[in-house]
Amino acid sequence: MKHDGGAGDDASMRSRWRQWRRAAGAGTRALLDQLAEGDPDDLIKLGDLMTGLGRRAFGVLLFLAIPPSFIPGVASVIGTPIVLLVGVQLMAGMRRPWLPRWLATRGPHRSMLIKFDRWFSPLLARLERVVKPRMTVLLDHRLAAIVTGVLLVLLGLLLALPIPLTNGIFGGLLLLFALALLERDGAMMAVAWIAGAIAVAVFGVLSGNLAAMAARWVDVLI
């Protein structure tokens, strides 16, 4: 039964946020399992999840952009802004994400994360056997952060374009970047760079709109 809430609800939410942060530190699959627990109608507000995660919050934020990225139409509304925000802030050398108010109060519904958990938990279980903290210079070095940021911005722009049958490809690429950031795996990041660069080269040329869209975004930012 629905109720108006109160101090008890606030304490419950604070406890759940602490569990999310512990799960983010424990691993990607643990984070997804924790986020998928609860009322499917709940809205997972991005601002609530970012507190106390430090630089790892970039990986959490990018991870939450993945489920919408698999859905045409929804990808450009939710996935693209998050991916662009992460990319730009990594390029700027920020140590933790900043969210504008309009985005901090938004996020995916838990029902979307439940479906994502059901579809991708077996894949994540296999990936977690190979990902581990290593080659962290490819995560922490200033130049490496710029490379990651540029590729994410370009992938975010491509995600917004109506290119048929590419949502799954871009969603998979974002998963590589998110895993690398969450698990502190520089080798995984190197794989994400190569795959991302190939995708940008191929689909950027095929779409013919990437350069024009990038120019418009530069004009807006300047």
Positions in the chain short of pLDDT 50: 1-4, 221-222
Would 2 be classed as within a structural domain? Answer: no
Helix 186-207 / helix 142-160 crossing angle, nearest 10 deg: 40
> What is the spatial distance between Cα 123 and Cα 145, in angstroms, rounded to a whole number?
26
Q: How many domains does the chain have?
A: 1
Would 1 be classed as within a structural domain? Answer: no
Confidence at residue 209, expressed as pLDDT on a 0 to 100 scale: 59
> What is the spatial distance between Cα 138 and Cα 161, in angstroms, rounded to a whole number?
29
Match 């630089």 to its residue by tokens.
55
Confidence at residue 191, expressed as pLDDT on a 0 to 100 scale: 95
- Its domain, for residue 119, covers 7-221
Would 150 be classed as within a structural domain? Answer: yes
CA dihedral 92, 97, 101, 105 (to 10 degrees): 150
Residue 38 tokens, joined? 């609860």
Do residues 62 and 143 make contact, with C-beta atoms less than 8 angstroms apart?
A: no
Would 120 be classed as within a structural domain? Answer: yes
Would 67 be classed as within a structural domain? Answer: yes
